[in-house]
Chains A and B, each alone.
Chain A
Amino acid sequence: MTTLSQRPAAHLSDPRQEEQSQAPAHAHHPDVRLFGLATFLVADGMTFAGFFAAYLTYRAVNPLPVNGEYELELLLPAVNTLVLLVSSLTFHRGSKALMASRMAACRGWLLLTAVLGVAFMAGQMWEYFHLPFGLTDNLFASTFYALTGFHGLHVTLGAMMILIVWWQAGREGYFTAENHFGFAAAELYWHFVDGVWVVLFALLYLL
């Protein structure tokens, strides 16, 4: 009696199987990883949506805290917003270079994207250290740090992902124009993080 574990590829060795290339055999089901990541980013976006909803409710319902400081410096965050938006653009240029198989250019754009991400984080840090309020000063301060901190965590993760992708792109044939899931995933994630920042900037700084 043969057990299946002794012949795990039984269905693959079946000659009829090889003719039916469309059969959903394990070895070659469609690559849906990017779709999965997009689904996960919807979930991640809902976390931000929950935070935003809480923040807007506070703004609408809770009285302004005593000595509450709603006015924020605008110049640095505006520059930072621009930095992040440009970094989305540079990542996109990197993607175009990859499609054209110009790997050196692709790596250059990636590195520039990572540098812009780090610059954004540095700007955030500078702003944190120069703000007139701390985490527990009042409700607005807490909300400000929670929102920007949670987003900053995402930027940090994203910058690390870009550096990893940059390193991988330096290896011969690791990413090709047809096969580059890691690259595409990092790019999708980075655009998501930038998009969230635009909403966050509008709500926290402009509203």
Chain B
Amino acid sequence: MTTSALTGSPRRMEPRHMDVQHHTPWHEYFGFSLDHKVIGIQYLVTGFFFYLVGGALAGMIRVELVTPLSDFMARDTYNQVLTLHGTIMIFLWIVPVVNGAFGNYLVPFYVGARDMAFPRLNAVAFWMLPPAGFLLLSSYFIGGAAQSGWTAYPPLSITTPAVGQIIWIVSVLLLGGSSIFGAVNFIATVLKLRRPGLGLFQLPMFCWAMLGTSILVVLATPVLAGALILLSMDIVAGTGFFNPTLGGNAVVYQHLFWFYSHPAVYIMVLPAFGLVSEILPIHARKPLFGYRSMIYSILGIVFLGLIVWAHHMFTSGTPPWMRLFFTIATAIIAVPTGIKFFNWLATLWQGKLALNSALLFCAGFIFNFVFGGITGVALAQVPFDVHVHDTYFVVAHFHYIVFGGTVFVIFAAIYHWFPKISGRLLNEHLGRFHCLLSFLGFNICFFPQHWLGLNGMPRRVAEYDPQFQLINQISSVGALLLAISTLPFLINVVWSLWKGAPAGDNPWRACTAEWLTSSPPPVENWLHEAPLVTEPYDYGSAEDAMPVTTVQGRELWSAGR
């Protein structure tokens, strides 16, 4: 009995689904489809397109920073490029992909439903994305894109050219609305659409992550919308909410902005945590360690995530009591986060690890995120933060969180679920090469930026002191490696879609419900009734004791109601 999940030989004992292979007609992916799987793929592909755009912009930034002078592009162009880079990567790549793509694809499977609670709303939410994205990109060609960074702090956002800023606001409002619609859908689906017999504490961890994330979206995103409405009135109607010269208060904008944008970090990271919790047990052949503590950690992060926002504002004249409160609250977040990381390590401990691309990307995530988390706790301390605020130390920190953390998980998830989505396996050699290049490129690009920040190089500026040139060039080499690392991935996806080895229904011998159907799954997910998976992480000992057929067969899941 081979246990290697790498060989790709599917252990199907029943040939039941292979003769009803379902192919969604290609045009459905370009239309107003109501199928949660199609919408998930729409999110994924759209998001990846914008990842390439945002990556090209990042490349332009790194090219500019090879030399101390702004000789590659004009300084205001640089401002536009970095604003577009941040906005696209956050609002059009990470948030839509970890939430919209994987959330939509997986959550209905996990709750045993045929679709999301509101399929039409789901499609509307997706179709707000492409117009918002192209609106944002088009602003570059109509009088220049916004120049005030993804934070759009006034008075900068009020004094820079108005057209680009207003287009930016409209675009972000659209994306925020899309995100809220998605969150309403996830909350209703997880809480109300569970298959009869499936309890909340039997759900795969990703459902809990999406529930927590969606609560954050519902509570926090509208506040950003409100702030942007007021900001647009300042720009268009001449009010002075955030304009000190008109008696307004710019710090109020910062509060409203970070009340959303700190939780936004968890909106980007919690779903990734959920995906890791799904991927690790399968490739380590062990149950997820500490299921309940994982759930309470998610809920703790959701609660704490809402009361730490002002740690972004320690240099904005915040009073001492506020600094003290937000420092302590921020430091406490390390506890539930740390619990999750210990649980993942305990899951890997003495597991039968299949060192495939999915697991390796997860390992990269753990390494990078822990490092970013440590610098995060450091940044929460006021004396340190005041020193490195608005330097490259902050840039390095949050790229370790959102790139080294979440983007690595996105790739792990693509390697893990591509066989289910397409019915074909990705090439493991190319995948591991991709992982190696990404890990090296990422760390070469961003690790030196800690040093730059500690030595005082300010962020968001096209020019810098010549003493920083060598380190900036090393960083740019890392960025080049990162750009190159995308090539094996793209080749892999295109090649595997065309000629990849057939994956079979369940190449990883997984327990969760999306694997208990054909690859790709039929329109309503299962041809028969939805399987009841009450032990989503039942790997290891139970599996060794019984033949694999039992683990895979439906009797185990349909019996337990």
Instruction: Point out the residues of chain A lying under 8 angstroms from B233, CB to CB.
Output: 142, 146
A24 touching B195, Cβ below 8 Å: yes
Taking the complex as formed, is B199 at the interface, i.e. its CB lies under 8 A from any CB of chain A? no
Instruction: Point out the residues of chain A lying under 8 angstroms from B193, CB to CB.
Output: 24, 29-30, 32
In the docked arrangement, what's the CA distance between A29 and B226, Å? 35
Within 8 A of A (CB), among B300-358: none
Whether A11 touches B528, Cβ cut-off 8 Å, given contacts A24-B195, A26-B115, A54-B256, is: yes
In the docked arrangement, what's the CA distance between A40 and B217, Å? 11
Whether A136 touches B240, Cβ cut-off 8 Å, given contacts A24-B113, A26-B114, A36-B117, is: yes
Closest Cβ–Cβ distance, residue A19 to chain B (whole Å): 10
B529 touching A17, Cβ below 8 Å: yes
A24 touching B196, Cβ below 8 Å: yes
Bitwise interface map of A from 135 to 167 toward B, beta carbon under 8 Å scored 1, else 0: 110110011001000100000000000000000
Could you count the A-B residue pairs with CB atoms below 8 Å apart for me: how many are there? 155
B188 touching A36, Cβ below 8 Å: yes
Whether A43 touches B184, Cβ cut-off 8 Å, given contacts A11-B528, A146-B233, is: yes
B223 touching A49, Cβ below 8 Å: yes
Whether A4 touches B522, Cβ cut-off 8 Å, given contacts A53-B256, A54-B230, is: yes
A142 touching B239, Cβ below 8 Å: yes
Taking the complex as formed, is A131 at the interface, i.e. its CB lies under 8 A from any CB of chain B? no
A58 touching B219, Cβ below 8 Å: no
A46 is contacted by which of B20, B218, B526 (Cβ under 8 Å)? B218
A32 touching B249, Cβ below 8 Å: no
Within 8 A of A (CB), among B225-263: 225-227, 229-230, 233, 237-241, 246-249, 252, 255-256, 259
Taking the complex as formed, is B19 at the interface, i.e. its CB lies under 8 A from any CB of chain A? yes
Closest Cβ–Cβ distance, residue A55 to chain B (whole Å): 9
Taking the complex as formed, is A5 at the interface, i.e. its CB lies under 8 A from any CB of chain B? yes
> Is chain A's binding surface mostly helix, strand, loop or mixed?
helix
A51 touching B240, Cβ below 8 Å: no
Closest Cβ–Cβ distance, residue B370 to chain A (whole Å): 32
A46 touching B222, Cβ below 8 Å: yes
Closest Cβ–Cβ distance, residue A51 to chain B (whole Å): 5
Q: Find the B residue at minimum CB distance from A45.
A: B222
Instruction: Point out the residues of chain B lying under 8 angstroms from A51, CB to CB.
Output: 226, 230
Instruction: Point out the residues of chain A lying under 8 angstroms from B248, CB to CB.
Output: 62, 139
B240 is contacted by which of A4, A61, A142 (Cβ under 8 Å)? A142
Taking the complex as formed, is A1 at the interface, i.e. its CB lies under 8 A from any CB of chain B? yes
B187 touching A50, Cβ below 8 Å: no
Instruction: Point out the residues of chain A lying under 8 angstroms from B113, CB to CB.
Output: 24, 29
Bitwise interface map of B from 184 to 204 toward A, beta carbon under 8 Å scored 1, else 0: 110110011111100000000
Kindly name the residue among A3, A50, A58 whose own CB sees the greatest number of chain B CB atoms within 10 A.
A50
Taking the complex as formed, is A2 at the interface, i.e. its CB lies under 8 A from any CB of chain B? yes
Q: Find the B residue at minimum CB distance from A14.
A: B528
Kindly name the residue among A4, A22, A32 whose own CB sees the greatest number of chain B CB atoms within 10 A.
A4
In the docked arrangement, what's the CA distance between A150 and B19, Å? 56
A42 touching B529, Cβ below 8 Å: no
A47 touching B529, Cβ below 8 Å: no
In the docked arrangement, what's the CA distance between A14 and B61, Å? 59
Q: Find the A residue at minimum CB distance from B118.
A: A36
Within 8 A of B (CB), among A1-57: 1-5, 8, 10-11, 14, 16-17, 20, 22-26, 29-30, 32-33, 35-36, 39-40, 42-51, 53-54, 57
Taking the complex as formed, is A170 at the interface, i.e. its CB lies under 8 A from any CB of chain B? no
Closest Cβ–Cβ distance, residue B227 to chain A (whole Å): 7
Bitwise interface map of A from 54 to 79 toward B, beta carbon under 8 Å scored 1, else 0: 10011001110100000000000000
In the docked arrangement, what's the CA distance between A57 and B118, Å? 38
Within 8 A of B (CB), among A87-113: none
Instruction: Point out the residues of chain A lying under 8 angstroms from B188, CB to CB.
Output: 32, 35-36, 39
In the docked arrangement, what's the CA distance between A4 and B259, Å? 47
Taking the complex as formed, is B220 at the interface, i.e. its CB lies under 8 A from any CB of chain A? yes
B22 touching A4, Cβ below 8 Å: yes
Closest Cβ–Cβ distance, residue A47 to chain B (whole Å): 4
B225 touching A47, Cβ below 8 Å: yes
In the docked arrangement, what's the CA distance between A51 and B332, Å? 29
Whether A57 touches B252, Cβ cut-off 8 Å, given contacts A4-B20, A33-B118, A51-B226, is: yes
In the docked arrangement, what's the CA distance between A57 and B237, Å? 22
Closest Cβ–Cβ distance, residue B211 to chain A (whole Å): 12
In the docked arrangement, what's the CA distance between A100 and B491, Å? 66
B239 touching A3, Cβ below 8 Å: no
Closest Cβ–Cβ distance, residue B165 to chain A (whole Å): 19
In the docked arrangement, what's the CA distance between A65 and B244, Å? 12
B249 touching A61, Cβ below 8 Å: yes
Instruction: Point out the residues of chain A lying under 8 angstroms from B24, CB to CB.
Output: 5
Whether A146 touches B230, Cβ cut-off 8 Å, given contacts A3-B20, A29-B113, A57-B252, is: yes
A62 touching B247, Cβ below 8 Å: yes
Bitwise interface map of B from 170 to 190 toward A, beta carbon under 8 Å scored 1, else 0: 000000000010011101100
Taking the complex as formed, is B427 at the interface, i.e. its CB lies under 8 A from any CB of chain A? no
A50 is contacted by which of B22, B226, B240 (Cβ under 8 Å)? B226
Instruction: Point out the residues of chain A lying under 8 angstroms from B187, CB to CB.
Output: 39
B252 touching A58, Cβ below 8 Å: yes
Instruction: Point out the residues of chain B lying under 8 angstroms from A35, CB to CB.
Output: 188, 191-192
Q: Find the A residue at minimum CB distance from B25.
A: A5
Taking the complex as formed, is B430 at the interface, i.e. its CB lies under 8 A from any CB of chain A? no
Whether A3 touches B23, Cβ cut-off 8 Å, given contacts A24-B112, A36-B188, A43-B218, is: yes
Q: Find the B residue at minimum CB distance from A9.
A: B524
Closest Cβ–Cβ distance, residue A134 to chain B (whole Å): 10
Instruction: Point out the residues of chain A lying under 8 angstroms from B225, CB to CB.
Output: 47
B220 touching A46, Cβ below 8 Å: yes
In the docked arrangement, what's the CA distance between A180 and B256, Å? 38
Taking the complex as formed, is B5 at the interface, i.e. its CB lies under 8 A from any CB of chain A? no
Instruction: Point out the residues of chain A lying under 8 angstroms from B241, CB to CB.
Output: 54, 139, 142-143, 146
Within 8 A of A (CB), among B495-515: none
Q: Find the B residue at minimum CB distance from A17.
A: B529
In the docked arrangement, what's the CA distance between A141 and B320, Å? 31
In the docked arrangement, what's the CA distance between A47 and B177, Å? 12
A40 is contacted by which of B25, B184, B230, B529 (Cβ under 8 Å)? B184
In the docked arrangement, what's the CA distance between A26 and B233, Å? 44
Taking the complex as formed, is B21 at the interface, i.e. its CB lies under 8 A from any CB of chain A? yes
Taking the complex as formed, is B46 at the interface, i.e. its CB lies under 8 A from any CB of chain A? no
In the complex, 18 of the A-B residue pairs with CB atoms within 8 angstroms, ordered by the A residue number, are: A3-B20, A4-B20, A14-B528, A17-B528, A20-B529, A24-B113, A24-B530, A26-B524, A29-B117, A30-B193, A43-B180, A51-B226, A53-B256, A54-B230, A63-B247, A136-B240, A139-B249, A146-B229
The 4 closest A-B pairs by CB, nearest first: A50-B223, A50-B226, A47-B222, A142-B239
Q: Told that A16-B529, A36-B188 touch, could you supply 14 new A-B pairs with CB distance under 8 A? A: A8-B523, A10-B522, A17-B529, A26-B115, A29-B193, A39-B187, A45-B222, A47-B222, A50-B222, A51-B226, A57-B255, A136-B246, A139-B240, A150-B229
